[in-house]
């Protein structure tokens, strides 16, 4: 299709360790390379971290369909907590878990992980203590504490009923993700926000790139990462007037503290018809946006005000406040030119950008 139409083709670029014949990270990028070599325009869309099934006491646990668990999980949360602290109840729940069918070699997606759960691979189930992608697995904790994995999960839920557990489904390995992100024909996108609101709202993928891959791992400079999140995507999607700070371009600006920006731990929210796992950014941040959501009907209306930490103020006042409250750092975006973007008028005019 890319060759016949001349149009850019994009698709999710994933690696997986699941299945009978797991795909290495360059499984799809090799196909992209072959297409580009004969004149096609093709991009892969990788995540910046793993894609997960997400579990928690407030939403779903891998055991909810089991008889003993179903009885407990139907109760109000406070009563669940009381029952889960009872040693006799715990013994019944552990015995129920032992009846679960082990997961085979089939690839199990996020929906199946909650609707047709198999006995968890506890080495691939991680409680989130932080957002740095280095938490111990449930299996690790069970060995250290000499407890059954189910008891470890119950203890962590009682310690904090907002605790979430992630089961990576694809892009499980940070090094696989890095290989995909560094490929010249991939785009740091694929946020998945809104696609699986009862599982994971992946809005933090961009923030994860800035905190994990830039600040912690130092695999990209800040300038490279900003360009990846803005101009690279705008160019590939052929969105005119986007992705640069330039006269006549749309003034969608985000100012953030590069030393502090990071995702927050996800929480379970019930402000939509289904449960929603959300993760916000942690930084002193200001955003100029020309849309405001009307929560009553889900529609958007034009609004040229700037929202900061839940409040609103005229954009000019907010920007004046910025100059006094944040160190304004000049950003020069000088990454290599985008490949496969011959039709984009700005693809060969990479003017430096400064603030």
Tens of pLDDT along 272-290?
A: 655 455 555 555 444 444 3
pLDDT of residue 63 exceeding 50, the answer is yes
Which pLDDT score is estimated for 130? 92
Distance CA 339, CA 332 (A): 20
**Is 44 exposed, middle or buried (CB count within 10 Å of its CB: 0-12, 13-18, 19+)?**
buried
Q: Which range among 13-27, 255-269, 270-284 shows the weakest confidence by mean pLDDT?
A: 270-284
Sign of the four-CA dihedral 111, 117, 120, 121 = negative
Percent of the chain with pLDDT over 90: 50
Q: Decide if 94 contacts 148 (C-beta within 8 A).
A: yes
Q: How confident is the model over 329-348, as a mean pLDDT?
A: 34
pLDDT of residue 157 exceeding 80, the answer is yes
Tens of pLDDT along 241-254?
A: 999 999 999 988 88
Which pLDDT score is estimated for 19? 75
- Give phi and psi for 186, each to the nearest 5: -120, 160
Classified as helix, coil or strand, 10 is strand
Nearest to 274 by CA among 166, 200, 169: 200
pLDDT band at 307 (very low <50, low <70, confident <90, very high): very low
pLDDT of residue 293 exceeding 50, the answer is no
Which residue has 């912690």 as its token pair?
Answer: 216
Distance CA 227, CA 105 (A): 39
Residue 90 CA, chain-centre distance (Å), reads 33
Cα distance between the two ends of the chain: 41
Q: Which range among 60-69, 184-193, 225-234 shows the weakest confidence by mean pLDDT?
A: 184-193
How much is the pTM? 0.74
Compute and round to an integer the Cα radius of gyration of the chain: 23
Q: Decide if 164 contacts 128 (C-beta within 8 A).
A: yes
Which residue has 């698709």 as its token pair?
Answer: 11
From its phi and psi, is residue 311 left (phi > 0), alpha (psi between -120 and 50) or beta? beta
String of DSSP letters for 96-124: HHTTSPBP-SS---HHHHHHS--B--GGG
Token duo for residue 311: 């409040």
Average of per-residue pLDDT values in the chain: 78
Q: Decide if 118 contacts 124 (C-beta within 8 A).
A: no
pLDDT of residue 43 exceeding 60, the answer is yes
Domain residue extents for the chain = 1-50+174-190, 52-170
pLDDT band at 350 (very low <50, low <70, confident <90, very high): very low
pLDDT band at 330 (very low <50, low <70, confident <90, very high): very low
* H helix or E strand, kind and range, residue 205: helix 205-208
């Amino acid at each position: 299709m890319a060759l016949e139409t001349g149009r850019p083709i994009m698709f999710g670029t994933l690696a997986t360790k699941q299945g009978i014949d797991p795909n290495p990270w360059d499984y799809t990028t090799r196909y992209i390379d072959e297409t580009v070599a004969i004149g096609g325009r093709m991009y892969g869309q990788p995540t910046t971290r793993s894609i997960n099934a997400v579990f928690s006491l407030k939403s779903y646990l891998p055991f909810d369909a089991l008889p003993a668990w179903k009885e407990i999980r139907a109760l109000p949360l406070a009563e669940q907590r009381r029952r889960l602290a009872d040693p006799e109840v715990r013994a019944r729940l552990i015995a129920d878990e032992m009846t679960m069918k082990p997961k085979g070699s089939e690839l199990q997606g996020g929906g199946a992980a909650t609707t047709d759960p198999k006995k968890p691979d506890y080495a691939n189930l991680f409680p989130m203590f932080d957002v740095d992608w280095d938490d111990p697995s449930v299996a690790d904790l069970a060995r250290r504490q000499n407890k059954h994995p189910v008891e470890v999960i119950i203890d962590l839920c009682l310690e904090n009923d907002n605790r979430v557990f992630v089961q990576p489904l694809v892009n499980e390995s940070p090094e696989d993700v890095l290989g995909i992100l560094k490929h010249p024909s991939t785009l740091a996108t694929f946020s998945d926000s809104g696609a699986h609101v009862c599982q994971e709202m992946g809005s933090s993928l961009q923030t994860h790139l800035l905190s994990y891959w830039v600040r912690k791992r130092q695999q990209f400079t800040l300038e490279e990462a900003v360009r990846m999140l803005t101009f690279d995507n705008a160019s590939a999607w052929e969105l005119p007037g986007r992705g640069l700070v330039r006269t006549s371009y749309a003034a969608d600006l985000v100012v953030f503290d590069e030393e502090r920006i990071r995702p927050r731990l996800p929480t379970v929210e019930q402000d939509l018809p289904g449960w929603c796992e959300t993760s916000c950014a942690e930084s002193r941040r200001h955003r100029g946006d020309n849309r405001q959501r009307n929560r009553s009907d889900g529609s958007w209306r034009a609004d040229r005000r700037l929202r900061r930490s839940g409040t609103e103020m005229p954009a000019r006042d907010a920007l004046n406040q910025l100059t006094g409250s944040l160190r304004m750092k000049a950003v020069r975006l000088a990454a290599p030119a985008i490949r496969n973007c011959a039709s984009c008028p700005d693809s060969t005019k990479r003017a430096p950008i400064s603030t």
